[in-house]
Structures are given as structure tokens and as C-alpha cells.
Amino acid sequence: MKLIVCGKGGCGKSTVAVLLSRAFARMGRRVLLVDADESNLGLHRLAGTAPAATLLETLGGRNALRSRAASQLGESCNLFYDQPFSLDSIPAACTPAVDGVRLLKIGKIQHYGEGCACPMGGILRPLLANLQTDAADRVVVDTAAGVEHFGRGVDRHADTIVGIIDPSFESFKLAKKLMDLAEGSGTPVAFILNKADDRMRAGLGSFIDPAAIIGEIPMRDELFAAGLEGRPIRFQAPEVDHLCRRLEAMA
Ligand SMILES: Nc1ncnc2c1ncn2[C@@H]1O[C@H](COP(=O)(O)OP(=O)(O)OP(=O)(O)O)[C@@H](O)[C@H]1O
Ligand SMILES: [Mg+2]
């Protein structure tokens, strides 16, 4: 099962991606958490994995990828994702693991003037398209804020788009847009209300079909503190396990 987590900037995508990944791992699933955000640097801290090279670096960098010259590509790493592959084919060097969750960072913008983030998108799309998952595999993709991945045509290769909505009008509006964009990809959407409370539920009104909302995560001090201090999320809660079960039922 492949999930792509998206939503407005700061709505809680990374937090929820880690929560879902860790809960799937506790359920005995084989989990790959994919960091597809080319800007933010902290997912490995929230996940609690060791810092590791990105896949783009492991492949030899954007120039190697551009030329696709075998001589330039990283030694341990041909373009495995250009044809059908399994989780076992992803180089261990760029997938540090903790508590049953492997984290794969696609690539980060590192230097001034290095170019746009298209090479990262150019990896993510075939990677998701060609990854052959077993029944127990759970791939959770944490995306950058906004809707660029729709423009890149990534979402059609996921089983479910997981839209995170936080208590803000902007988030409600984006969720509606996400629904429209998802129609283009033909991928079902499941929404999670994050930092949810009564005021949010009232404000959400008729923006989103309630049937598309699979659950809620309230404001939690422990999650706030993990974000503030850049430390691993160890939080467990029945509402997160419930979300995992709903997502599995959808797939
Ligand atoms: N349920 C929650 N309770 C308390 N704090 C939360 C909750 N969810 C997220 N946060 C906090 O909200 C902030 C944004 O969360 P997070 O970084 O996960 O959002 P994001 O959507 O991934 O952001 P970005 O768009 O920058 O990638 C962080 O400080 C995080 O700790
Ligand atoms: Mg994030």
C-alpha cells in the first residue's frame, strides 16, 4: 500500500506521516517512510533515524542523474527504480531504520543556485510507479507543502492520497482543491483533521464531504514538543491506530 501525505504548509504532514509509519510498524507491517520534501530537513529527527545521504546523493548527484552515465552514477546504486523493484532493492545506505520504519530521503536543495527541485520529482514519480509492494508493505510519502506533486503526476501512483487539514481557512480551501486535483489522478482521497477541536469542525462546515474524513488527531502537547525540540515522535494513541486501519480498509 502506498500513501501520499499532503496538505497546506505546516498542517502536520510530517508529524502525521511519522505517526502513521510508526503505528503501521507496530502492527507488524514493513514500512518505508519517504521524505519527498526537498526543502525541510527535519523528518529524520521526528522519525528518530540516523542522518543519511539522500537517494539523489547516493546516485551521484544531479549531474550524474542528468547524464544517466553509468560511470558517474553512485557505485552501489544503478537506477533501480526505472524498472519494477521491491523494497529490498533500495540501497540500505540511504534507508536508516528505527523501530521497524525505514526512512528514504529523495533529495534536498543544498546549495545556492544549484537548480530547481525537478530531479527530485523525476526520481519520486518512477520510484512510486515501479515499486512493487507486498501485502504487508506500507509506503508513506511525506510531501512538500502545496500541490506541486499533482503537477508532477506523482499521485496517480499512490493507492490513497492522505490530505491533512489543520484549523485554518487556507487549509480548508486547499483540501477542496486537493479533492478536485485528485479527480485528475483517479486516486481516492482520505482526509485527517489535525489539531482538531469543536471550532475546527464547525468551521470546516461543508468544505469537505464528511464521508471523506477518516479520523482526527487533537492538539497534543507531546507532538508540539517533538516539533519544537526536533526530537523523535514516540507518541502512540488509539486514534492513530484507527487511522491506519481505515487506510488499510480503503486499500
Ligand atoms: N496534533 C498536533 N498537536 C500538536 N502539535 C502538532 C500536531 N501536529 C503537528 N504539530 C506541530 O505543528 C507544526 C507543524 O507540523 P509539521 O512540521 O508536521 O507540518 P508539515 O505540514 O509537515 O509542515 P511543512 O509544510 O513545513 O512540511 C510542528 O511544530 C508540529 O510539532
Ligand atoms: Mg513537513
Ordered by start, the domain boundaries in the chain are 2-250
pLDDT(67) > 80: no
Q: Which three cell numbers stand for residue 9?
A: 504548509
- In Å, what is the CA distance from 177 to each residue of 161, 163, 200? 13, 11, 18
Q: How far apart are CA 206 and CA 208, in angstroms?
A: 5
Tens-digit pLDDT profile for residues 17-30: 999 999 999 999 99
CATH class label, 2-250: alpha beta
Q: Which three cell numbers stand for residue 241?
A: 491506530
Centre of ligand 1 to C-alpha 220, Å, is: 11
Q: Which three cell numbers stand for residue 177?
A: 482543491
In this predicted structure, what is the pLDDT of residue 248? 98
Residues with CB under 6 A from ligand 1: 9-15, 37, 40, 145, 194-195, 217, 219-220, 223-224, 226-227
* pTM assigned to the model: 0.96
Is the torsion defined by CA of 58, 62, 66, 71 positive or negative?
negative
Q: How far apart are CA 251 and CA 239, in angstroms?
A: 19
Average pLDDT over residues 56-84: 77
Give the number of the ligand closest to the Cα of residue 227.
1
Beta bridge partners of 34: 104, 141
Numbers of helices and strands, H then E, in the chain:
10, 8
Give, using CA atoms, the residue closest to atom 26 of ligand 1.
Answer: 10
Average pLDDT over residues 152-166: 95
Tens-digit pLDDT profile for residues 93-150: 999 999 999 999 999 998 999 988 888 989 999 999 999 999 999 999 999 998 888 8
